[in-house]
Amino acid sequence: MIKNNLTGLISVIDNSNLVDKVEMRLIEIFLKNKLKPGDPIPKETELAKAMGVSRTVIRESFNRLKTIDLIESKKHKGTVIKSPSLFNIFQKTMIPNLMSDTTLRDIFELRLIIEIGLADFICQRVTPADIKFLNEIVSNEPEKSDTFLFDVEHEKKFHAKLYEISGNKSVIQFQSLLLPLFNYTYKSGLYNSPVIPKKYVSHRGLVEVLKKKDSEKFRNAMRAHLENHFQRILYIESKNEALVAGVVNPGLV
């Protein structure tokens, strides 16, 4: 007689399809053989014969691995291992209109974290030519910009230059990846929340601080520059918490 509780008595059935299994097996082979970017991998026919599956299954597995930037086809070399680009994978799935406000806010917060953290690298690597370029960008900036929500293109151009000065290729690529999200975030009105005037540093002020190449002062200046964004995000968060707690009438916010 079979017991009512079958857990542990019957092994779990592997319901993954054949392509899933071959894909994982290929990755195991790459790791086991310690393959590096540029190293060739066996041909489809060889793998199909060795694994006992059709070339169609191998080809589909290859397509999946190409999608995640793990392999690529090279002329005269066949299929080789590729150094995967996390940003290329992100780019294929970053569709702002399909993202929730929470996801957009998380990504925007990530931008703030990165820009404050880049201070040391920016101060170490900035050149006189960079300062000149930044001055040209801010030449038309309003004198009082503490409550002014910058034109998206103006904002992107200034901060993109800072990313470039950092010299970190991954950060530069990441910033270009986030540009469509910044556009959507600004246009959606997600951050048109009230702000309380505090010590603020404009783009023009950032350039003046950057000239001194003092990373600590530049980091503090950048935090002050981004203060309005922090306030907007935290205001939205506080408002949502109040709504959940039933403290605020939805019709009044």
Q: So what's the pLDDT on residue 164? A: 95
Same domain, 99 and 188: yes
* Percent over 90 (pLDDT), the chain: 43
In this structure, the answer to whether residues 102 and 74 fall within a common structural domain is no
pLDDT tens-place string over residues 146-156: 555 556 677 88
d(CA 131, CA 118): 16
Specify the higher pLDDT residue, 145 or 140.
Answer: 140
- Calpha distance 123→116 (Å, rounded): 12
Confidence check: pLDDT of 126 > 90: yes
134 and 220 in a single domain? The answer is yes
Tell me which residue of 217, 90, 206 sits closest to 159, measured CA to CA.
206
Q: Count CB neighbours of 249 within 10 A.
A: 9
| pLDDT score of 15 | 46
What is the domain range of residue 80? 18-84
> Who's near 171: CB < 8 A, 6+ residues apart?
114, 118, 163
Q: Which two tokens stand for residue 166?
A: 């950092």
Which tops the pLDDT comparison, 253 or 33?
Answer: 33
Over residues 63-118, the pLDDT tens digits come to 999 988 899 998 888 899 998 776 766 766 777 777 787 787 788 888 889 999 99
Q: Buried b vs exposed e over 218-239: b needs ≥16 C-beta within 10 Å?
A: bbbbbbbbbbbbebbbeeeeee
Q: What is the CATH number of the domain that holds 246?
A: 1.20.120.530
What's the structural domain count of the chain? 2
* Averaged pLDDT of the chain: 80
Question: Sign (positive/negative) of CA torsion 128, 130, 132, 134?
Answer: negative
The residue written with tokens 């790459």 in the block is 30
Tell me which range, 37-46, 121-130, 141-150, is most confidently predicted by mean pLDDT. 121-130
User: Do 78 and 106 reside in the same domain of the chain?
Assistant: no
Residues 145 and 28 in one domain: no
Residues 93 and 58 in one domain: no
> 30 near 61, Cβ under 8 Å?
no
- What average pLDDT does range 210-229 have in this prediction? 93
94, 184 Cβ separation under 8 angstroms: no
**Which pLDDT value is given to residue 136?**
93
* Separation between Cα atoms, residue 131 and residue 69, nearest integer Å: 37
| C-alpha torsion angle, residues 234, 238, 243, 247 (rounded to 10) | -160
Q: Taking the complete model, does pTM exceed 0.75, yes or no? A: no
Q: Residues 6 or more apart from 68 whose CB is under 8 A from it? A: 84, 89
Read off the pLDDT of residues 1-28 as tens digits, 9 standing for 90 and up.
444 554 554 444 454 589 999 999 999 9
- Residue 168, pLDDT above cutoff 80: yes
Residue 248 has pLDDT above 70, yes or no: no
pLDDT at 144: 55
Three-state secondary-structure class, residue 190: coil
- As a whole number, mean pLDDT of residues 115-131 equals 96
Local structure of residue 17 (DSSP, 8 states): -
Q: Which of 84, 101, 132 is the last residue of a domain?
A: 84
Q: How far apart are CA 110 and CA 64, in angstroms?
A: 29
Q: Give residue 117's pLDDT.
A: 94
**32 in the same domain as 56:** yes
From residue 201, how far is each of 19, 90, 118, 131, 194 by CA, in Å?
A: 55, 32, 17, 17, 18
- Kindly tell me if the per-residue pLDDT of 205 is higher than 90: yes
What is the distance, to the nearest Å, from the Cα of residue 38 to the centroid of all Cα atoms in its chain? 26
Whole-angstrom distance, CA of residue 159 vs CA of residue 115 = 8
- Closest among 151, 128, 131 to 141, alpha carbons compared: 151
> Does pLDDT of 225 surpass 50?
yes
3-state secondary structure of 69: coil
